[in-house]
Amino acid sequence: MLDFRSDTVTRPTEEMREAARTAAVGDDVYREDPSVNELEAEAAARVGMEAAMFVPSGTMGNQIAARVHTERGQEALVEETSHVYKYELGGFAQHSELQVRTFDGGENGAPTPEQVEAGYVAEELHRPGTGLLCLENTHNVKGGVAVPPDTVGAAADAARDHGVPVHLDGARLFNAAVSLGVPASDITEHVDSVMFCLSKGLGAPVGSILAGDASFIENARRVRKLFGGGMRQAGMVAAPGLVALENVSRLSDDHENATALAAGLDDIDGLRAPAPDTNIVLVHTENAGLTAGALIERCEREDVLASEFGEHTVRFCTHQDVDAADVERAIEVVAGAV
Ligand SMILES: *Cc1c(COP(=O)(O)O)cnc(C)c1O
C-alpha cells in the first residue's frame, strides 16, 4: 500500500523505537521526566523561544495557545481555510469562548497588513475586541505553501501594533523553513507562540510542541492540565520526538518527491497539479470530468491512497515512508485511473 493520505501515517523508525525503549523517564506532571525536559529545551532552541511544552497533539497545542492568549468573549482573527477554523471542531468557541473573524488569505493563506487592520476590532462598549491573530505555515489547504518570514512579520506586526498577540500554527513549520532555506527561528521570531508537530514529516509516533516565552508556557502548563493533556512517563514518546528533530534536513527529500509527483500528475490529460513548495500536492480533477472521490476510489483499488480535499481536489502528501519509485508508481496508477 502506498499511503499518500498524510505525512502523519509514517511509522517510527528503528532508531525511534530504540529511543523509546531506553528512554530515561519520570513523572512529567511533576516536571521530572528527563526525556521530556530535554525535548522541550531542544525544541525551544530550534524555534528561538524561551520555553516549550510537549503536548499530545497539534490540535491541543493550538487550543492551549488560544486559551492562554485570550479572554472569554474576545475575537480571534483566523484564515477562512485554516486548520484552527476548519478542522478543530470549533475549539476556539468550545474551549476559550472566542468568536472567530475570518480573512481570505488568498494564494498563500497569509493576511496582508491591511487585512489585519481591517479585521481588527478595538474593544469598546459594544465590541468584544480582538484577542488573537492566528497564522498557519506551511498552509495546508492552500497546498503546503511556505510563507516567507517577511510576510509573516508584516502580518504579525500589524496585529502587535494593536497589542494583539500572534500564534503560529506551524504544524509543518520545518517544511516551510527547509523550503525557504532559512532557520525556523527566522519565521517564529515574528510571533508570540508557535505550535509544530513532531508526528508529521518529522516522523515521530506522537506529539507536538508549543513554544513561547517563559510566562506563556507557565500558563500553558496549567491549561494543558485543564484540557487533560498532563502525561506521566511521557519520555516514552518524547524520546522518539528528539530523534525526529534530527530529521529536519530530510524533509527536502519529501519536497523533491512532491515536486516530481506534481509534475507527473500535471502531465496527465485533464489533471492540474501546481508545483508545490513543500510536501503537499493538490490535484484538481474537474477537467477530467472526474470527482475527487471517484479518482481516490480507483487509485485505492491499485493500492495507492490519497485524501479528498474538495469536490474536485485530491491531496497527496509525501513523507519518509514513500520514495521516488513510489512516486513513479503513483503517477502510473493515477494516469490509469483517469
Ligand atoms: C495536522 C495539523 C494540525 C493538528 O495536528 P494534530 O496533531 O493532528 O492534532 C494543526 N494544524 C495544521 C495546519 C495541521 O496540518
Directed axis angle between helix 235-245 and helix 14-22, to 10°? 140
> Which segments of 8-57 does DSSP mark as H helices, in order?
14-22, 34-46
Check if 58 has its Cβ closer than 6 Å to any atom of ligand 1.
Answer: yes
pTM of the model: 0.97
Query: What integer pLDDT is reported at residue 243 of this predicted model?
Result: 98
Atom 2, ligand 1: residue with shortest CA distance:
171
For residue 170, the CA-to-ligand 1 centroid distance in Å is 9
Phi, psi (degrees; rounded to nearest 5) at 108:
-110, 0
Nearest CA to ligand 1 atom 6: 58
Q: Which of 5, 6, 55, 59 to mutate to test the pocket of ligand 1 (most atoms within 8 A of CB)?
A: 59
Pocket test for ligand 1, best of 140, 237, 315 (most atoms within 8 A of CB): 140
Which of 6, 83, 202 for mutating ligand 1's site (highest number of atoms within 8 Å of CB)? 83
Q: 212: Cβ–Cβ under 8 A, 6 or more apart, which residues?
A: 49, 50, 51, 52, 65, 192, 193, 194, 220
Count how many Cα atoms sit within 13 Å of the Cα of residue 156 in the half-sphere of its side chain. 22
CA 64 from centroid of its chain's CA atoms: 15
Within a 13 Å sphere around the CA of 76, how many CA atoms are in the beta-carbon half?
31
Q: Cα of 270 to ligand 1 centre, how many Å?
A: 31
169 lines ligand 1 (CB under 6 A): yes
Segments of the chain scoring below 70 in pLDDT: none
Burial class (CB in 10 A: 0-12, 13-18, 19+), 114: exposed
Cα separation, 137 vs 144, whole angstroms: 8
Q: Which residue has the cell 499511503?
A: 3
208 CB under 6 A from ligand 1?
A: yes
Please give the full DSSP string across 221-285, using - where no structure is assigned: HHHHHHTT---SSTHHHHHHHHHHHTTGGGHHHHHHHHHHHHHHHHTSTT-B-PPPSSSEEEEE-
CA distance 120 to 130: 6
Distance 142 CA to ligand 1 centre (A): 14
**CA distance linking residue 336 with residue 272, whole number of Å:** 16
96 phi, psi to nearest 5 deg: -125, 0
> What pLDDT digit, counting tens, does each position of 273-324 carry?
999 999 999 999 999 999 999 999 999 999 999 999 999 999 999 999 999 9
Lookup: cell for 207: 506529539
Pocket test for ligand 1, best of 63, 134, 169, 307 (most atoms within 8 A of CB): 169
Which residue's alpha carbon is nearest to atom 8 within ligand 1? 58
Residue 323's pLDDT is 97
pLDDT at 251: 98
171 Cβ inside 6 Å of ligand 1: yes
- Tell which atom from ligand 1 comes closest to the C-alpha of 138: 13
